[in-house]
A and B are shown apart, each in its own frame.
Chain A
Amino acid sequence: MKQTVKKSTWAVLLCVLALLAAVVVLENVLDPNKNIMVFAALKKGAVYALVAVSMNLLNGFTGLFSLGQAGFMLLGAYTYAILTIPAAQRDTVYYIYNGSAVNFSLPELFGGGTAGLVLGVLAALILGGCVAAAVAWLIGLPVLRLKSDYLAIATLGFGEIIRAVFQWDKLGPVTNGANALKSFPTFSSFNIQNAAGETVLRLSTFTAFLLAGICIAVIVLLINSTYGRAFKAIRDDEVAAEAMGINLSKHKRLAFVISSFFAGVGGGMFAMFANQAQAKTFTTAMTYEILLIVVIGGIGSVSGSCIAAFLYVAASEWWLRFLDAETFVGGVKVPLLRNGFRMVVFSVVIMIVVLFFRRGLMGDKELPDLFKKRRKGGAAK
């Protein structure tokens, strides 16, 4: 038994490495402009995969229905942005407030250059996660006592409150009020350039994958640990779990804080993807989007969430875009196609998944499980 566990772990690790290698190769082989959609979708997909997995940890594995994800992402994104905007750019970014109250930038504190960039970005992302986690701990104290849908609506309200606070112009010197924070290092900053400023090695998509991959791996390890088993026990039956000696409030709080930590990191990565951080982006609609990804992937499946994130992003922002354009086939206008139709089709598809494929893509299975099942089935024949 132990042997197989080890084997499959190695297999998964190998796959992930192969995937990362493939990303690097593809990004450098393909024409970056013609295929920019691939990489934009991959980057956003990676970010959403991380956020979806973090939400799944809470909703799928611990059975706590929280809708505060966008709020925690906002915390992470702002922390990341505030800590990494180069000092020289601060006056331009905070032009309304005549400069920022925070006058250092982590990449510069770490000595600038490539090492400074890597360390600074990592530190800022982790700090972003920590801020989100700390806030989660605080609001978890009262909120986690609530039952399922009350918890959902309370966390949803929390997201709205956070947004209002960050948009408050009295905090402007720190948060830049309503204005977007920008000019901080993005994924593209990780492309390696030569002295002439030409890009010699593109690593932007790789960076997104690597960061998301590490975080997801940590979550997977957590899920497979005793804590993870305790989470699942709580999800399946709170009373039974308590009877087994699991400390309910401690484990719930732990799940909430960890999930928020990774949502915060995901928020920082989202800012890196979007090239800016602005509170009005992190709306309830964003939480719903992530929730739908979790549902499509299967509540309680990490690999499901990952696959669904890529599919969702690619479908909604790329493959289905043609539905928005008025199209003429042989001189006849195709009916219905005009702006907004894409989202209608998309939401109908989501409703179909929610209603008829309730288990989503993967149910509560993981990718490796699928292969196991198939082999067992084959043996039985």
Chain B
Amino acid sequence: MKKFFAMLLALAMVLSLAACGGGSGSGSGDGQTSGGSGGKTVKIGVFEPATGDSGAGGKQEMLGMQYGNKETPTVEIGGETYNVELVYADNASSADKAPTAASQLVSQDVSLVLGTYGSGCAIAGGPVFGEAGLAAIGVTCTNPGVTAGNDYYFRICFLDPFQGTVLANFAQEKFSAKKAYLLGELGNDYDQGLLNYFEQAFDGECVKDSFPANTSDFSTFLNKAVAEDCDVVFCPVSIAYSTQIVKLAASMNLDIPILGSDTLDNNKVLDAAKGSSVQLYVSTFYQEGGSPEFDEGIKAWLNEDSTAMTNNGGDDTIAAVTAMGYDAYYVALEALKAAGSTDKAAVKAALPSLTYTGVSGAIAFDEVGDAIRDTAYIKTADNAAGAWTLETVQTAK
């Protein structure tokens, strides 16, 4: 008798799980067809962190997509007008949450996926998309491992090797640097990858340090850079640490220039440097003024929408990742148009040959799925005005 009961219970459990899954699956399916009366809907998945250590950057990236969606809410696919719906899944900046977040998007029948901010989550979620035959467009995940070995992952940004090299060259040209102090977070593939490429390209001595996660005392590190008589400090760290480092450099009147990667292109970092004598240079994807029309439009939107403003960090400085998110959204629309269908296989097939000129420059994909890009903008913080100014445009050599 009891074995019967136990079996029944076990089966009931499995079935209820399945029923829930089936329920939500068919539910989203219904949504798509019922929306059809006023025009069909196509769904684009947004695979971005909204919490965790890259939550701030992820949100700014989403702003770009949201603004794009607001600006162009419909797309012409195969002669029909579709409403574009963004479907979000928070991967919490954590590789152990990324596969389920990716699965969530797959289950909601999206046509393609945009994201993510960080490479770790992209690598963890990538195989899920690959298995489901769903194409993903990486927006600012710069690690070579994202697209390598995954046919379904594309990306529109440059790669770490490029960025590291560009910054190393810049350090040598601008500051005639002979000795560099490299600082990154321990165990963070982004930081360590860039440090590594910088070191390779830098023709001089490098002092390398890593700090464990959640460190907040950087004074010893900066003092070490001073003591070692370094010409530049290179710290491609995430936003939370970079605000800390820049703030500290400001308070100790550090006279060594600080070089940063695209993560430092953030208004929180700019805020930290404001009013001080810190020399801050960052390499990035987009410089404000690159497309006045886009700048104006998104600023107006940010000032109008308080939630968006908060997500942008409280002011209307445009982060490069926002511009990248915006471009990614339009690339997605182009892909849908080129595919002529909302079918994910067709979208995937249309992507490799796609070209698009966005606010951050021309975008095309090479055979691995990486963007063919040879330009990085290097900007510097104008500490009096609290704004970025363009320093130079660097290309790879």
Contact between chain A and chain B defined by CB under 8 Å? yes
Interface residues of A (CB under 8 A from B): 7-8, 10-12, 14-15, 18-19, 22-23, 26, 30-42, 44, 89, 92-93, 95-96, 163-164, 166-167, 169, 177-180, 182-183, 186, 188, 270, 273-276, 278-281, 283, 286, 307, 310, 313-314, 317-319, 321, 324-325, 339-340, 343, 367-368, 371-372, 375
Decide if A178 touches B188 in the complex (CB within 8 Å).
yes
Decide if B189 touches A180 in the complex (CB within 8 Å).
yes
What is the chain A residue whose CB lies nearest that of B311?
A339
Residue B120 contacts which of A183, A188, A280, A319 (CB distance < 8 angstroms)? A280
| Chain A neighbourhood of B22, CB < 8 A | 30, 34-35, 38
B266, CB-defined interface residue at 8 Å: no
Decide if A371 touches B149 in the complex (CB within 8 Å).
no
Decide if B189 touches A178 in the complex (CB within 8 Å).
yes
A178 to chain B, nearest CB (A): 4
List 15 contacting pairs A-B, 8 Å CB cutoff, sorted by A: A12-B6, A23-B14, A33-B109, A44-B99, A96-B193, A180-B123, A180-B145, A188-B131, A275-B124, A278-B189, A279-B187, A313-B100, A314-B17, A325-B88, A368-B6
| Chain A neighbourhood of B143, CB < 8 A | 179
| Chain B neighbourhood of A15, CB < 8 A | 3, 6-7, 10
CB-contacts of B17-57 with A (<8 A): 17-18, 20-22, 24-26, 29, 50-51, 55
Residue A95 contacts which of B18, B101, B123, B144 (CB distance < 8 angstroms)? B144
B95, CB-defined interface residue at 8 Å: yes
Decide if A26 touches B18 in the complex (CB within 8 Å).
yes
What is the chain B residue whose CB lies nearest that of A10?
B3
Decide if B109 touches A371 in the complex (CB within 8 Å).
no
Decide if A34 touches B107 in the complex (CB within 8 Å).
yes
- Chain B, interface residues (CB within 8 Å), range: 35 or more
Decide if A178 touches B192 in the complex (CB within 8 Å).
yes
Residue B10 contacts which of A19, A30, A182, A325 (CB distance < 8 angstroms)? A19
B353 to chain A, nearest CB (A): 23
B19 to chain A, nearest CB (A): 9
CB-contacts of B162-204 with A (<8 A): 186-189, 191-193, 196
Q: Which of B17, B29, B90 has the most CB of A within 10 A?
A: B17
With contacts A14-B3, A167-B187, A275-B124 taken as known, whether A30 is within 8 angstroms of B21 at the C-beta atoms is: yes
Measured in the bound complex, the distance between the Cα atoms of B145 and A276 in whole Å is: 11
Decide if B14 touches A324 in the complex (CB within 8 Å).
no
| Chain B neighbourhood of A32, CB < 8 A | 132
With contacts A15-B6, A317-B97 taken as known, whether A38 is within 8 angstroms of B20 at the C-beta atoms is: yes
Closest 3 CB pairs of A and B: A11-B3, A38-B21, A34-B25
| Chain A neighbourhood of B389, CB < 8 A | none
What is the chain B residue whose CB lies nearest that of A183?
B149
B393, CB-defined interface residue at 8 Å: no
Interface residues of B (CB under 8 A from A): 1-3, 5-7, 9-11, 13-14, 17-18, 20-22, 24-26, 29, 50-51, 55, 59, 88-90, 94-101, 103-104, 106-107, 109, 120, 123-128, 131-132, 143-145, 148-149, 186-189, 191-193, 196, 210, 212-213
Decide if B7 touches A89 in the complex (CB within 8 Å).
no
Decide if A34 touches B109 in the complex (CB within 8 Å).
yes
| Chain B neighbourhood of A166, CB < 8 A | 187
| Chain A neighbourhood of B187, CB < 8 A | 163-164, 166-167, 178, 278-280
Decide if B123 touches A275 in the complex (CB within 8 Å).
yes
Decide if A89 touches B149 in the complex (CB within 8 Å).
yes
Decide if B90 touches A339 in the complex (CB within 8 Å).
yes
Decide if A40 touches B100 in the complex (CB within 8 Å).
yes
| Chain B neighbourhood of A318, CB < 8 A | 100, 104
Main secondary structure of the interface of A (DSSP, over half): helix
| Chain B neighbourhood of A372, CB < 8 A | 2
Main secondary structure of the interface of B (DSSP, over half): helix
Q: Which of A26, A37, A39, A273 has the most CB of B within 10 A?
A: A37
Decide if A34 touches B29 in the complex (CB within 8 Å).
yes
| Chain B neighbourhood of A39, CB < 8 A | 103
Measured in the bound complex, the distance between the Cα atoms of B145 and A32 in whole Å is: 26
Measured in the bound complex, the distance between the Cα atoms of B104 and A321 in whole Å is: 9
A44 to chain B, nearest CB (A): 6
Decide if A95 touches B17 in the complex (CB within 8 Å).
no
| Chain B neighbourhood of A22, CB < 8 A | 10-11, 14
What is the chain A residue whose CB lies nearest that of B103?
A40
With contacts A37-B104, A179-B193 taken as known, whether A324 is within 8 angstroms of B50 at the C-beta atoms is: yes
Residue B192 contacts which of A11, A23, A34, A177 (CB distance < 8 angstroms)? A177
Decide if A41 touches B17 in the complex (CB within 8 Å).
yes
Measured in the bound complex, the distance between the Cα atoms of B11 and A14 in whole Å is: 12
Q: Which of B1, B96, B106, B124 has the most CB of A within 10 A?
A: B96
Measured in the bound complex, the distance between the Cα atoms of B210 and A30 in whole Å is: 48
Decide if A95 touches B186 in the complex (CB within 8 Å).
no
Decide if A274 touches B98 in the complex (CB within 8 Å).
yes
Measured in the bound complex, the distance between the Cα atoms of B148 and A92 in whole Å is: 7
| Chain A neighbourhood of B186, CB < 8 A | 164, 167, 178
B99 to chain A, nearest CB (A): 6
Measured in the bound complex, the distance between the Cα atoms of B178 and A7 in whole Å is: 78
What is the chain B residue whose CB lies nearest that of A278?
B95
Measured in the bound complex, the distance between the Cα atoms of B100 and A42 in whole Å is: 11
With contacts A33-B109, A34-B107, A164-B186 taken as known, whether A343 is within 8 angstroms of B3 at the C-beta atoms is: no
B238 to chain A, nearest CB (A): 12
B199 to chain A, nearest CB (A): 10
What is the chain A residue whose CB lies nearest that of B95?
A281
Residue B51 contacts which of A310, A340, A367 (CB distance < 8 angstroms)? A340
| Chain A neighbourhood of B192, CB < 8 A | 96, 169, 177-179
With contacts A18-B11, A274-B98, A281-B96 taken as known, whether A35 is within 8 angstroms of B6 at the C-beta atoms is: no
With contacts A37-B100, A40-B103, A278-B120 taken as known, whether A371 is within 8 angstroms of B29 at the C-beta atoms is: no
Residue B145 contacts which of A19, A34, A95, A188 (CB distance < 8 angstroms)? A95
Beyond the given A178-B189, A317-B104, A372-B2, could you list 9 further A-B residue pairs with CB under 8 A, ordered by the A residue number?
A34-B109, A40-B99, A92-B148, A169-B210, A178-B192, A188-B127, A280-B188, A324-B50, A339-B59
| Chain B neighbourhood of A281, CB < 8 A | 94-96
Measured in the bound complex, the distance between the Cα atoms of B213 and A42 in whole Å is: 31
Decide if A93 touches B145 in the complex (CB within 8 Å).
yes
What is the chain A residue whose CB lies nearest that of B133?
A33
| Chain A neighbourhood of B17, CB < 8 A | 38, 41-42, 310, 314
Measured in the bound complex, the distance between the Cα atoms of B24 and A372 in whole Å is: 36
| Chain B neighbourhood of A368, CB < 8 A | 2, 6
What is the chain A residue whose CB lies nearest that of B62?
A339
Decide if A182 touches B145 in the complex (CB within 8 Å).
yes
| Chain A neighbourhood of B123, CB < 8 A | 180, 182, 275-276
Measured in the bound complex, the distance between the Cα atoms of B228 and A315 in whole Å is: 52
Decide if B14 touches A19 in the complex (CB within 8 Å).
yes
Measured in the bound complex, the distance between the Cα atoms of B88 and A339 in whole Å is: 10
Decide if B96 touches A340 in the complex (CB within 8 Å).
no
Measured in the bound complex, the distance between the Cα atoms of B213 and A343 in whole Å is: 21
| Chain B neighbourhood of A40, CB < 8 A | 99-100, 103, 128
Measured in the bound complex, the distance between the Cα atoms of B19 and A35 in whole Å is: 10
What is the chain A residue whose CB lies nearest that of B97?
A317
A305 to chain B, nearest CB (A): 15
